[in-house]
Amino acid sequence: MKNIELIIFDLDGTLVNSQFDLADAVNYALKNMGRPLIEYEQVPDMVGSGVRKLLELALGDFTDIELGEARKLFDLYYSKNYTNKTACYSGVPETLRYFNKKKKAVYSNKIHAYTVEIISGLGLSQYFDIIMGARPELYLPKPSPEGVLYILNKLNIQPENAIMVGDSTHDIHAAQAAGLRTCAVSYGYRPLPVLEKAKPDFLIDRMEELKDWLG
């Protein structure tokens, strides 16, 4: 692992715990549509594939018009409240500072603008060379490797010199398809057996443990 020049981090469930703000935004939409609300504990199983999928799961049965209405209400709330309850996981800023000599990127399936704003709002922008969210006009979302390859090209890094750190199978599969090493985090939104089945190169229980593997 000493040859790693670039670390790509997922956002939700890896760098930050955003389930409470996401749940509040979803419930704002559901409440205004007269739908049953969701619990905070339901959110980890519902995130990872973008806002559309999150709202589809929260709504259950819906028409295209209802999904569109939910999306407008979600965006209305979330655009003003995305860091009310969202915070870094323990050890994240310290670990990012530790790797100040390596290139670093954030790559999330969250809307690009929200990804950039959350990283900025939590004071983490200074640590990253690239901050990327979902940009369908440029690349397909994870588990497609397109976004990972886009980052490698932008930073002129070979796949064997990069690693992806994330909490979902989407992160692991996208990185594996692009030829990267992979690190899964157990403290995020996916159960340990699910992560192990995806066969990451290694797994950590705390962000600080990344130092032990990458030096």
Name the residues annotated as catalytic.
10
Instruction: Report the distance separating Cα 202 and Cα 74, nearest Å.
Output: 36
Helix axes 51-59, 19-32, angle to 10 degrees: 50
For 212, residues 6+ apart whose C-beta sits below 8 A from its C-beta are: none
* Alpha-carbon span 164 to 145, nearest angstrom: 11
Indicate left, alpha or beta for 34 from its phi (over 0: left) and psi (-120 to 50: alpha).
Answer: left
